[in-house]
């Protein structure tokens, strides 16, 4: 198990920042934390009331690195990666390899930012980024940056990943990445496990019990696939974009803002006082 690890943020890939700003900033109250252009991508990090962060990625400077352009061309917009911060990346990579995972894109040369990745074929349909940062930095938002609607706020509470099989996924998220199991559910159709790390946010692993049910069909021939990102809000009825839905992994009354062609992410809203 990697020591000193925490879940830092979830990232969504889009063609333009504005494709995601309408939902995550105007509707759900995300606040700018940092951003700018990098080699191959331009990140915009926003934070929600519980301080869980979401990173919105768009392609930039693709002539130097086209990884995000290739992702969008192959998959369209959608959840791209989960980032976990570690205290000592070199040591963490020993743990990664010892459990049979193969880190890629390893970069240890920069004293300010070191990183490595676990490919989505090994990480159940999502890229896992391991990063060691020497500090934090702030870049102001671009001119004319969108502001939230008045009085809007939410907590980014959960990233739900549908996985073909629960035990192999737990080898990654519990045994390697150090997630603590806080809730387990079993129904006739699925099993789910909620894992947490220090700080806000959690990851839910949801596995079908039958090869013929809807969740299994959603996963298809993959090892896993992102199902939705969940937010807690004061009153879901105040969101005309959201429709009441019955979702796997939810006993509570839940509302769905369905994915659009430009966003590629299902957004689930749960009332803070909803049973």
Residue 149 counted as domain residue: no
pLDDT digits 0-9 by tens, 5-14: 999 999 999 9
What is the average pLDDT across 102-114? 94
Quick one: 92 and 209 in the same domain?
no
Q: Pick from 63, 98, 133: which residue ends a domain? A: 133
One domain, residues 256 and 223: yes
pTM: 0.94
What does the longest C-alpha to C-alpha distance in the chain come to? 51
DSSP one-letter code for 23: I
115, 228: one domain? no
Q: Give strand pairing partners of 271.
A: 233
Q: List C-alpha distances in Å: 35 to 19, 139, 142, 209.
A: 16, 6, 9, 41
- The per-residue pLDDT for 200 is 93
Does 259 lie in the same domain as 191?
yes
pLDDT in tens, 122-176: 999 999 999 999 877 777 888 888 888 888 999 999 999 999 999 999 999 999 9
Contact 128, 93 (CB under 8 A): no
Is there a domain that residue 103 lies in? yes
Domain identity same for 211 and 112: no
* Cα 141 from Cα 168, distance rounded (Å): 40
The predicted-structure confidence for 236-254, as pLDDT tens digits, reads as follows: 888 888 998 887 776 668 8
Is the same domain home to 163 and 122? no
Residue 150 lies in a domain: no
Look at residue 40 and tell me if it is in a domain. yes
On whether both 99 and 65 belong to a single domain, the answer is yes
| 1 found inside a domain | no
| 160 and 129 share one domain | no
CB 78 within 8 A of CB 226: yes
- Three-class secondary structure of residue 259 per DSSP: coil
Same domain, 11 and 129: yes
**Per-residue pLDDT at 139:** 78
pLDDT of residue 87: 95
Residues 97 and 182 in one domain: no
Q: Has residue 146 been placed in a domain? A: no
| 8-state DSSP, 26 | I
Asked if residue 144 is part of any domain, the answer here is no
Backbone angles phi, psi at 25, to 5 degrees: -105, -60
Give how many domains the chain has, as a whole number.
2
Could you tell me which of 156, 203, 152 has the C-alpha nearest to residue 54? 156
pLDDT at 36: 87
Q: How confident is the model at residue 188 (pLDDT cuts 50, 70, 90)?
A: confident
Determine the Cα–Cα distance for residues 89 and 99; give it in Å rounded to an integer. Answer: 16
Q: What is the CATH number of the domain that holds 228?
A: 3.10.180.10
Q: What is the rounded CA–CA span in Å between residue 114 and residue 92?
A: 12
Within a domain: 143: no
Q: Which domain holds residue 163?
A: 155-271
Q: What is the mean pLDDT of residues 14-34?
A: 93
Tell me, yes or no, whether 49 and 112 share the same domain. Answer: yes
Same domain, 126 and 243: no
């Amino acid at each position: 198990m990697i020591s000193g690890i925490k879940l830092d943020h979830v990232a969504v890939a889009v063609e333009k920042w504005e494709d995601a700003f309408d939902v995550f900033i105007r509707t759900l109250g995300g606040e700018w934390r940092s951003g700018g252009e990098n080699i191959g991508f331009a990140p915009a990090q926003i934070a929600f009331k519980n301080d869980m962060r979401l990173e919105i990625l768009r392609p930039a400077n693709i002539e130097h690195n086209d990884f995000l352009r290739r992702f969008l061309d192959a998959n369209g917009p959608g959840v791209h990666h989960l980032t976990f911060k570690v205290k000592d990346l070199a040591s963490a990579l020993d743990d990664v390899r010892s459990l049979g995972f193969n880190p890629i894109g390893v970069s240890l040369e920069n004293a300010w930012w070191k990183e490595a990745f676990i490919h989505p074929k090994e990480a159940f349909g999502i890229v896992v980024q391991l990063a060691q940062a020497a500090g934090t930095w702030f870049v102001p938002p671009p001119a004319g940056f969108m502001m939230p609607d008045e009085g809007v706020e939410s907590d980014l509470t959960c990233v739900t990943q549908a996985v073909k099989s629960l035990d192999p996924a737990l080898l990654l998220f519990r045994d390697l990445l150090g997630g603590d199991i806080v809730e387990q559910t079993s129904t006739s159709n699925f099993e789910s496990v909620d894992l947490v790390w220090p700080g806000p946010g959690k990851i839910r692993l949801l596995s079908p019990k039958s090869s013929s049910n809807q969740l299994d069909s959603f996963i298809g021939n993959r090892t896993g696939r992102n199902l939705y990102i969940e937010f807690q809000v004061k009153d879901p009825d105040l969101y005309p974009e959201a429709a009441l839905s019955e979702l796997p992994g939810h006993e509570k009354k839940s509302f769905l803002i369905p994915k659009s062609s430009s966003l590629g992410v299902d957004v689930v809203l749960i009332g803070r006082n909803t049973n």
